[in-house]
Amino acid sequence: MFAALTGRSGHGFALRAQPLRLPRVSSIWQVARGLKMSYRGSDLRHRVEQLNGRLDETYASSDGPTSDHAETATEYYDICSHLMIYGWGESLHFAPLSPQESLEDSKLRHQRLMIDKLDLREGMSVIDVGCGIGAPMRTVVREAGVTVTGINSSEVQLARARELTAQAGLSDMIDYVETSFMDMGTIEDGSYDRAYAIESTCHAPDKVGAFTEIARVLKPGALLWGQEMCLTDTFDADNTNHQEIKRELMRGIALKKIATFAEVNQALESAGFEVIEGIDRGTAEYGSTTPWYQPMEARSGTARNTPRGTPLSRRLAIGAARFVETLRILPRGTAEVAKLLDRTANAYVAGGKTGIFTPLYCFVARKRP
């Protein structure tokens, strides 16, 4: 996701000098506790079977779903979030990688770039569109001294976000609205100074509609940072291999479609934004000196990256989950969730290696007066 950033000038936030560190990745015991709390009273194995069946039916072709698909996407994150956190960390997004950094440090560097690009200043009100479990929000609050509202339709993710925010002592600076970002009707027009959407609006059933709703809750002249999963100019619609990879990506990430850079920009313009900057930060030119998908492919390439996402680690995790399920430490069905995420990781790697896909199209846009 994010280009190199070694420092910040002009704002003087007191917490800026803290070392580059994000919260530690959840332990297996935290995962077990989270899974049991989230799935209490439900049959996880049956839910995963239903989700896989729905995904297979929905993505029978590379054209993707013809319906809204919001319910499927929410169920996907409700089921998968805890294992995603275990494998990728609390910041559930991609970042430009460097051999000198851990994966977590690269993500924090990217979040700091976003803070600079948004020109955040103490006292501003900010909306996080699709906040996940809130790791970027906590960074933004600590480093910029702003208040943040997190928007999320996943009850499971919001529960974890509230818990982690309370542990960080930031509950008085962050609040949440459980709703779809397609309809934030409880929020008044022109409420926020800034907005950001990290790998969230790629799930929008209607991108113009999503950006229009974001524009509605922003003040005139306010800035929006976005990070989109996109098809690159390398994608060839007549190439059957490209189409199959695209289908696997949509299935694995529960996307309605995958937009091109131009389609994202056009949607922003149609929604009332002026696009100031649009960059694929997954390229070496813009800071990703190690391929963004490398942590899911091999242990080499980033000197300090966690190995939990590698193919061998994923296979071992699936086997371990099956065993631990028999001990009733993990809910039955956990291994099937791990298999689903393993398939998604393979799709990411295929999309990255062929060059047809990037999760790092980052833009800055300004709401027109």
DSSP code per residue over 135-196: HHHHHHHHHH--EEEEEES-HHHHHHHHHHHHHTT-TTTEEEEES-TT--TTSPTT-EEEEE
Instruction: Tell whether 9 is covered by a domain.
Output: no
What integer pLDDT is reported at residue 17 of this predicted model? 36
What integer pLDDT is reported at residue 16 of this predicted model? 39
For residue 125, the one-letter residue type is S
The CATH number linked to 172 is 3.40.50.150
Instruction: Tell whether 167 is covered by a domain.
Output: yes
> For residues 208, 214, 217 and 218, what is the CA-based torsion angle, rounded to 10 degrees?
-110
* Structure tokens belonging to residue 108: 């924090």
Q: How many domains does the chain have?
A: 1
Range of the domain at 48: 21-367
Instruction: Tell whether 13 is covered by a domain.
Output: no
Instruction: Tell whether 8 is covered by a domain.
Output: no
**Dist. CA 126–CA 143, nearest whole Å:** 13
Q: 241: buried, middle or exposed (CB in 10 Å: 19+, 13-18, 0-12)?
A: exposed
What integer pLDDT is reported at residue 29 of this predicted model? 66
Q: Can you name the residues that pair with 366 across neighbouring β-strands?
A: 223, 274
**292: number of CA atoms within 13 Å, CB side?**
30
Instruction: Tell whether 280 is covered by a domain.
Output: yes
Q: Which residues contact 244 (CB under 8 A, 6 or more apart)?
A: 62
What integer pLDDT is reported at residue 135 of this predicted model? 93
Work out whether the CA dihedral 218, 221, 224, 230 comes out positive or negative. positive
C-alpha dist (Å) from residue 246 to 82, 257, 259, 354: 25, 9, 11, 11
Instruction: Tell whether 108 is covered by a domain.
Output: yes
**Dist. CA 313–CA 21, nearest whole Å:** 24
Extended strands (E) in the chain: 125-129, 147-152, 174-178, 192-198, 218-231, 259-260, 273-280, 357-367
User: pLDDT tens digits, the chain, 369 residues: what are they?
Assistant: 322 222 333 333 333 334 444 434 445 666 666 666 666 667 888 888 888 888 888 777 666 665 557 778 888 888 888 888 877 888 889 999 988 888 899 999 999 999 999 999 999 999 999 999 999 999 999 999 999 999 998 888 898 899 999 999 999 999 999 999 999 999 999 999 999 999 999 999 899 999 999 999 999 999 999 999 999 999 999 999 999 999 999 998 888 889 999 999 999 999 999 999 999 999 878 767 889 998 888 755 443 545 566 777 788 888 888 887 888 878 888 888 889 999 999 999 999 999 999 999 999 999 999
What integer pLDDT is reported at residue 306 of this predicted model? 52
Pairing mode, if any, of strands 357-367 and 218-231?
antiparallel
Instruction: Tell whether 305 is covered by a domain.
Output: yes
Q: Please list, residue by residue across 85-114, b when 16 or more beta carbons sit within 10 angstroms of its beta carbon and e when fewer do.
A: bbbbbbbbbbbbbbeebbbbbbbbbbbbbb
Q: Which of 80, 161, 149, 153 is nearest to 340 (CA)?
A: 80
